[in-house]
Chain A
């Protein structure tokens, strides 16, 4: 489903990803862990197609398509979703307008019928219940005045409404209280199916107790330096990245 080969990418002229390889099969959940500044968010942005994140070498194939050839919005319509490490506040754009525009733009791009107002409302009502997003939040401009945790729950609500083939969660667990963490994890697990995969970037083993990954990778200095099953996360928790990096070298 996702095949990243020898990916080199630079930001502002500095090479951050230095030959990264990653293969995900349909329906799998992969976790990426790694020290601060290793390039985890960079990988997420490169996959989403952010301006200024230049692929200088290598390839990214997503469901048989060359991802690098698609615009940001086309990637989204193809099924890539990024839950931001730091979700943005967008004053003046009502949350519901934003959600409806996004849902229908993706449907249109895929040649599907747009969702009518009642079905859309039903969809959002269902998802907001699931992620404990209050009505008054939906009435505000997007993310404006939301707390850190509320913003993260809004990210997963968007994910659940858009049902992406590949959900990339960049430290969605950071700053969440225990209950919110469980709610977010349930959202990811609910989406999990042969057609829906997730790439979960995290610093904490705790999240992986709830979202049990098929594969755990360690990303350090722009490369995947070690991969293993869920026990790798426990190992990291115990010994730290230093040991792993030396081990891998």
Chain B
């Protein structure tokens, strides 16, 4: 696939910095070396995504990332486990972009092969060639190319037919560098027929400013179930760009819900391709921003076969000068009859200067489909506030209850109990701060 080069400005410092790190890796198989070379070429032509590209119209990374982030060096920190997860989850740590091998603990998995990309490069190159080598994202940005060009590591998880893992697998992105650094991670998740897994990508703030560029490929065979969640605690000087690229077989179920709590720029993109009939995807996200946070959730759902359903539920809660972006593209091929698609985005702006951009895009070529979508942006309902206060609830508490209520429908999408609790806890903490600051 080639991209039309967009006539662009001279190369920025950031772009030069990223390109200086590109090049073949010693362990690369020939197919990967070729892919990398092509990707590097692509990035060098296009540069960082910017506002003149349709898919990045509202999230201009060239403007948001001027100086660039140098490639991260291996970390030294011993990462303590998540206090609230001991025993209930399986943690895998990716420190400064490299999988901490001791955190893999294969003995905790059955019917599931788990290894780092680095290991797979030498021990299971065929798996990577069949996945990364054959990946066909619905939309491929220059950051995808940059990821291909610079990625060193990530998680490979292969669940055999019928395998079912009882605990959430929490992939922790941790950064211990002090200087601004970038990491480019690639994960490969393959769920065999009927397999069931829960994957959580937990992006932690890290010590210094940092840039996380993560691509996760997910292959769901027929009737497989993958619950995929993303927690993003991106700091106000940091960038997060994550892409989940899921391909669903017949009657597969894919759930993807993200919580974005800030960032200089945080872009969470989810692409779902329905390749087998009867697939179901539930996508959701809560964007909670303050200060000058910029949070973007983008979804693409492509119905290539009949009888699949996609539900999307997004909420943005923004204060100060925070900016939110939601783009939702749904495309239904001519033969994809009986597609059922629902997409709702609602924004709550708690200050004059907060803003929300919504871009729903429907391309429907089949005639027998159900497709409902809506977006709305507003403020807290004064009547509801008065009603609650008239029962003695102080204004700040009443607001907090109403703001929390606003995101309920997204929280309810989450099947996994542990994740739902974490989601609620992190969101409540954040909203407490947003509502508290805002009333003072």
Contact = CB atoms under 8 A, between A and B. Distances in A.
A90 B387 contact: yes
Contact of B404 (A49, A72, A92): A92
A50 B393 CA distance: 14
A50 B406 CA distance: 23
B389 interface: yes
Contacts of A109: 392, 394
A106 interface: yes
A92 B390 CA distance: 19
Contacts of B397: 101, 105
Contact of A73 (B382, B395, B404): B395
Contacts of B389: 71-73, 76
Nearest to B383: A88
Interface in B372-409: 382-384, 386-395, 397-398, 401-402, 404-409
B391 A90 contact: no
B394 A90 contact: no
B386 A50 contact: yes
A75 B390 CA distance: 8
A231 B406 CA distance: 49
Given A98-B401, A101-B397, A77 B392 contact: yes
Contacts of A98: 388, 391, 393, 401
A92 B406 contact: yes
Interface size class of chain B, counting residues whose CB lies under 8 Å from the partner chain: 20 to 34
Contacts, number: 77
Given A51-B382, A90-B387, A92-B406, A76 B392 contact: yes
Given A97-B401, A98-B401, A101-B397, A90 B388 contact: yes
B347 to A, nearest CB: 15
Given A72-B389, A76-B392, A77-B392, A92 B384 contact: no
A82 interface: yes
Contact of B405 (A71, A72, A92, A158): A92
Interface residues of A, number: 29
A84 interface: yes
Interface in A92-130: 92-93, 97-98, 101-102, 105-106, 109
A48 B383 CA distance: 13
Nearest to A99: B391
A81 B386 CA distance: 12
Nearest to B401: A93
Given A92-B405, A93-B401, A105 B394 contact: yes
B391 A158 contact: yes
B123 to A, nearest CB: 49
Interface string A33-62: 000000000000000111100000000000
Contacts of B383: 88
A105 B401 contact: no
Highest count of chain A CB atoms <10 Å: which of B388, B395, B408: B388
B392 A102 contact: yes
A167 to B, nearest CB: 12
Contact of A162 (B392, B407, B408, B409): B392
Contacts of A76: 389-392
B409 to A, nearest CB: 8
Contacts of B408: 91-92
A89 to B, nearest CB: 9
A210 B279 CA distance: 60
Interface of B: 382-384, 386-395, 397-398, 401-402, 404-409
10 contacts: A73-B394, A81-B391, A87-B387, A92-B404, A92-B405, A92-B407, A92-B408, A92-B409, A106-B392, A141-B405
The 10 closest A-B pairs by CB, nearest first: A92-B405, A76-B392, A106-B392, A102-B391, A72-B389, A92-B408, A73-B389, A93-B405, A88-B387, A105-B392
Interface of A: 48-51, 71-73, 75-77, 81-82, 84, 87-88, 90-93, 97-98, 101-102, 105-106, 109, 141, 158, 162
Given A93-B388, A98-B393, 15 more contacts: A49-B390, A50-B386, A51-B386, A73-B394, A75-B390, A76-B390, A76-B391, A88-B383, A91-B408, A92-B408, A93-B402, A98-B388, A101-B397, A102-B392, A109-B392
